[in-house]
Amino acid sequence: MPPVAVPNEAPKKQLRVAIIGQSTFAAEVFKLLQKDGHEVVGVFTVLDKGNREDPLATIAAQYGKPVFKYKTWRIKGKVIPEVLEEYKSVNADINVLPFCSQFIPMEVIMHPKYQSICYHPSILPRHRGASSINWTLIEGDTTCGLSIFWADDGLDTGPILLQKSFPATIDDTVDTLYNKYLYPEGIKALAESVNMVANGTAPRILQTEDGATYDPALFKPDTHQIDWSKGGIALHNFIRGLDSSPGATTFIKPQTKEGIVEGSEADVEVKFFGSSLWQAEYEAEGDQLLIPGLDTPAVIHEAGLLITANDGVKLNVQRLKVNGKMINAQNFFKANESKVTLELTAEEKQFVEGARDIWKAILTIDIENDTDFFASGAGSMDVVRLVEEIKDLAQIELQNEDIYMNTTFEEFCQIAVMKSRGGSDAADIVYDGVEMDVNKMKIKFPTQLFINGEFIDSDSGKFLTIVNPSDESVICKVQSASVSDVDKAVKAAKVAFEEGEWSKISARERGQLLFKLADLMEQHKEELATIESIDSGAVYTLALKTHIGMSIETWRYFAGWCDKIQGSTIPVSHARPNRNLTLTRREPIGVCALITPWNYPLMMLSWKMAACLAAGNTVVMKPAAVCPLTALKFAELCARAGIPRGVVNILPGSGALCGQALADHPLVRKLGFTGSTEIGQTIMKSCAVSNMKKVSLELGGKSPLIIFEDCDLDKAVRNGMAAVFFNKGENCIAAGRLFVEERIHDDFVRRVVAETKKMAIGDPLHRGTSHGPQNHKAHMDKLIEEGATLVYGGGRVDRKGFYFTPTVFTDVQDHMYIAKEESFGPIMIISKFSSKNIDDVIRRANGTEYGLASGVFTRDVSRALAAAERVDAGTVFINTYNKTDVAAPFGGFKQSGFGKDLGQEALNEYLKTKCITIEY
């Protein structure tokens, strides 16, 4: 029978309508009929569940309509007289049954002038019965639909009034068909049908028996059992046909990763949800699960449970209900592992209390954290109500399955908060770590690799020994990534980029997630600064302000950029008269690798990764081998903040092994590196040879600082010292050579030495310390310089730890080693120049292969701007130094590298531009 449908026309007369049914579906039909001008004269629905009435009753009461609630309409097969009389009293012209779970007597069906019309979610006569949507999927139909029919004394056999059909794909589920078509279109179809009745255009087309089916209701347990002898397509259809409820069921023997638990008699009930046909070309790797009836063991892997049917067809199942508890399939063997609870913001705590009120209103009981939604009497329609009310409360888009998988109030709030942050799964995070009492606080950080949302051990079994530079004590040992670990992390990042939650959320949601991460970093600011101090030797007060403070600012800055990345339309010459439109899209590159140095561990991570994630990429990051601890703590915060699995991967390891593997990996499409020029050259070669991956390099520097005789000398001394000694001289833009005008040279040197002697060298955690230890011993040993006049310092401090005295050299000649090469330590190198020959000092300033930063001190604006124009460096400071900002682009020229960190320009490093031309 072909579907019947006519254009909807406004009713020419208003009918008196009785609505018999229940649910939000019926409530929406009620509202649409009222809008069309019909008069709903009575609503007949089910009894309240406790103190909870049906949504149809609620909406009817709001409109002031009479509501009747019956447990049943019949006793022993006969209509209850009192019920029939109450029904007749509303004097309806027509009965509308949008969703009705009760048997309605024919005395009621046939009583009105226009009798009764019913909604059915199939294209009748196919799939008559109570489980029609399920059978549409189980039978693999490629078309679904709905019917409005005239009720008779049969079961869905009355004449057809209106039908609509829609495509059903191999990926559809009960929920997708219902949400896309059967719910919204069914509501409109019922309203159209009433209007057709009012206009006298409603047909009565008798149902044919050709192609008719009557499928059993899927209520009894034996109807849910999976027949594993069937082919893969049939298994997929059966599982998705039962996806909403009650779930396709099988029984297995109790198992661990090692195999079946011997001696256990009780089988484990497992229900399967979220099936999809396996399209991947590669074989999934993981732990085996033995399922009776399958020739091949199923595989628990990072994306679910991979089942190979006996005909060879593969399907992947995302969720399992094991003995009544819903879990992600990949967590089958992890069900008993502890979880890290989310740390909530003040706004999120307010949401939790609002959600508690919603649960209380639905369940009419006091809500504790362990209150179970379904054990407390909730049904499927309560799930719909909960989803809608949470959306109204906080604009959080939950799916029905989110409630089925997180049935207690605490679990529900966790998944809702995760959704609001952009993630979808509760964070199953456990790790081996270190707890310490230091700096008057308790700190804790992981010591494992962070891959695909989990902390795991390295495949190699090798470790990095992490030393506290202030006292040379061993802090801990950290897992060191192998080449296979790199491959594992890159593949996880690729899956997250192409298929994971990160690829599905909007740019604005991505920004909200990064803001959440920044807030969490703010909450842990003191802990992060303490870890940075003991790990890298950073002075704690500086770490609070710069190492950590600027990191947080960076994440907030780029979080704001997420929804402002856009292309443009271009007026190409063929636009007219050929009607062509040319536009550009700014798209993420894909999997990016980041390799960062040891001088600002967390800040360098943030400078690169924030822009990278804001652009929509995923990341595999290798921190410096000598100080990876804040990067690992950052990984923990990512998990707590709800960053989806695989988006951020942190791999401590050696540069020669782990770093080289990232440069060589064919799935990495961009590599960002900060470090030495020599290593940068090696990386660039590897990137070119491997797959021509995009590269940005922030390399060495020998930044000149030119101080003219007309400067504010006090300011020049203060800033000159900061330009050299800031962060112990372990600063990529440190002033590597000061050119001081000869007339003020001696006075400048005298003042610098006097101030340098006042610097407090010592424990970086002490609030009065201004100069802490160098990062690690191998670097400190390289700092001894020769070949010029040493006026102060020049050696290691006589105490435990990697302390080096701030040092001042004068009479430095251009040919000397210390005039050309970066020291990366607290060493001030001073040369004289004459203002009578500015060209010469500019030539000398540009006389190295570096071009990262520079500085000029003078009161003469013209001279300052002229020098700024001619100095070949990516950053020029005038009458200041070290004044970087998250909004200002940062990067060098020549052998200081190319590409930018920070500012809008940094986004260009992690985006690709696609040009699209359309002829219309």
Q: Are residues 167 and 153 in the same domain?
A: yes
For 676-707, what is each residue's pLDDT tens digit? 999 999 999 999 999 999 999 999 999 999 99
Residue 826 is given by DSSP the state: S
For 267-297, what is each residue's pLDDT tens digit? 889 999 999 998 876 677 889 999 999 999 9
Q: Which residues contact 166 (CB under 8 A, 6 or more apart)?
A: 143, 144, 145, 177, 180, 181, 185
Q: CA–CA separation, 502 vs 508, rounded Å?
A: 12
Q: What is the CATH number of the domain that holds 391?
A: 1.10.1200.10
Residue 675 pLDDT grade (very low, low, confident, very high; cuts 50, 70, 90): very high
Q: What is the CATH number of the domain that holds 76?
A: 3.40.50.170
For 880-920, what is each residue's pLDDT tens digit? 999 999 999 999 999 999 999 999 999 999 999 999 999 88
Q: Are 582 and 904 in contact (CB under 8 A)?
A: no
User: Is position 531 within any domain?
Assistant: yes
| Percent of the chain scoring above 90 in pLDDT | 72
Print the domain residue range for 792: 704-889
Q: CA–CA separation, 118 vs 911, rounded Å?
A: 54
Q: Are residues 44 and 81 in the same domain?
A: yes
Q: Which positions are catalytic? A: 120, 698, 732
Q: Are 250 and 242 in contact (CB under 8 A)?
A: no
User: Is position 901 within any domain?
Assistant: no
At which of 168, 199, 230 does a domain end?
199
Report how far apart, in Å, the C-alpha atoms of 223 and of each of 131, 431, 506 are: 11, 42, 40
User: Is position 573 within any domain?
Assistant: no
Residue 147 is given by DSSP the state: E
Q: Are residues 234 and 268 in the same domain?
A: yes
Q: Are residues 689 and 714 in the same domain?
A: no
Lowest mean pLDDT among 8-12, 805-809, 824-828: 8-12
Does the pLDDT of residue 424 top 70, yes or no? no
Compare 312 and 263 and report the one with higher pLDDT: 312
For residue 125, is the peptide bond before it cis, meaning its omega torsion is within 30 degrees of 0?
Answer: yes
SS3 call for 644: coil
* The pLDDT of residue 1: 42
Residue 51 pLDDT grade (very low, low, confident, very high; cuts 50, 70, 90): low
Report how far apart, in Å, the C-alpha atoms of 375 and of each of 364, 647, 735 are: 13, 36, 68
Residue found under tokens 């189980």: 138
**Both tokens of residue 733?**
């833009």
At which of 331, 358, 387 does a domain end?
331
Q: Are residues 522 and 642 in the same domain?
A: yes
CB neighbours of residue 767 within 10 Å = 8
Q: Are residues 405 and 504 in the same domain?
A: no
Would you list which residues are annotated within the binding site for NADP(+)? 655-660, 675-676, 782, 822-824
User: Is position 750 within any domain?
Assistant: yes
Q: Which residues contact 416 (CB under 8 A, 6 or more apart)?
A: 351, 355, 390, 394, 396, 398, 402
Q: CA–CA separation, 721 vs 280, rounded Å?
A: 59
Q: What is the CATH number of the domain that holds 281?
A: 3.10.25.10
For 182-203, what is each residue's pLDDT tens digit? 999 999 999 999 999 999 999 9
* The pLDDT of residue 6: 47
User: Is position 205 within any domain?
Assistant: no
Q: Are residues 232 and 184 in the same domain?
A: no
At which of 674, 698, 722 does a domain end?
698
Q: Are residues 815 and 714 in the same domain?
A: yes
**Both tokens of residue 693?**
């991956």
**Both tokens of residue 304?**
């679910």
* The pLDDT of residue 426: 40
User: Is position 338 within any domain?
Assistant: no
Q: Are residues 549 and 614 in the same domain?
A: yes
For 139-181, what is each residue's pLDDT tens digit? 999 999 999 999 998 779 999 999 999 999 999 999 899 989 9
**What are the E-state strand segments in 350-453?**
433-438, 441-446, 449-451
Q: Are residues 225 and 323 in the same domain?
A: yes
Q: Are residues 165 and 36 in the same domain?
A: yes
Q: How many CA atoms lie within 13 A of 224 on its CB side?
A: 18
Q: What is the CATH number of the domain that holds 711?
A: 3.40.309.10
User: Is position 910 within any domain?
Assistant: no
Q: How many independent structural domains does the chain possess?
A: 5
User: Is position 9 within any domain?
Assistant: no
Q: Are residues 686 and 735 in the same domain?
A: no
